[in-house]
Chain A
Amino acid sequence: NAGVTQTPKFQVLKTGQSMTLQCAQDMNHEYMSWYRQDPGMGLRLIHYSVGAGITDQGEVPNGYNVSRSTTEDFPLRLLSAAPSQTSVYFCASSYSMGPGELFFGEGSRLTVL
């Protein structure tokens, strides 16, 4: 199993550009989520999904969109990038919502100029 796969690993954008971070998992997990990691602020939840067709907002959803058309994929879209969205983004999945191990992807480092 590949686990949780994220692409791209690195990306530089200009303010106002849009892009999609891809996330895929091959563990048949129902729960998938996106976190951003900023220095001194830990991991903050952006959006999450408890199954195909179901998504909801986390702590810091503004400026991001998600969709979940299949169990495997959970892309994160930045509609109009801002410098405040410069961060490291992690996709994570688990068997179900609730107590249990979160499996993280390798992360995507995004810089917005």
Chain B
Amino acid sequence: GENVEQHPSTLSVQEGDSAVIKCTYSDSASNYFPWYKQELGKRPQLIIDIRSNVGEKKDQRIAVTLNKTAKHFSLHITETQPEDSAVYFCAAMDTGFQKLVFGTGTRLLVSP
């Protein structure tokens, strides 16, 4: 089955800096890669996703890139703000069973 590794586990940046979170996956046939944001004490919520036929997708200050050859994908947040502080989870869809496998999460702290 699919295995997803996520780095770093914690990331501290200053407000206005960029933040990058990286994930690798094991199943070369995986075709769907979402990112979820979980604020403290809240539920995870989808912030952006990408499918394997696309190399990059942007939504305002957030972008995701996908390198199918290397089997890794990354979340990029530009002009970070304190409200970006949260735990971010990447995930990959196991094409065999069509289930999402999540990474272990990255705690992002944006300091004013």
Contact B102 A98 (CB under 8 A): no
- Residues B60-112 near A (CB distance < 8 A): 89, 93, 98-105
Return the contact of B98 from the options A97, A105, A106 (Cβ within 8 A). A97
- In the bound complex, how far is the Cα of B99 from the Cα of A45, in angstroms? 9
- Asked if B51 CB lies within 8 Å of chain A CBs, one says yes
Number of interface residues of B (CB under 8 A): 23
Known: A45-B99, A104-B44, A105-B43. A99 touches B104 (CB 8 A): no
For residue B45, CB closer than 8 A to chain A, the reply is yes
Give the chain A neighbours of B42 by CB distance below 8 A: 106
How many of A's residues come within 8 Å of B, CB to CB? 21
Closest B residue to A56 using CB positions: B97
With A43-B44, A90-B43, A90-B44 as given contacts, are A99 and B51 in contact (CB-CB < 8 Å)? yes
Cβ of B98 and Cβ of A101 under 8 Å apart? no
Q: Which residues from A are CB-within-8-Å of B43?
A: 90, 104-107
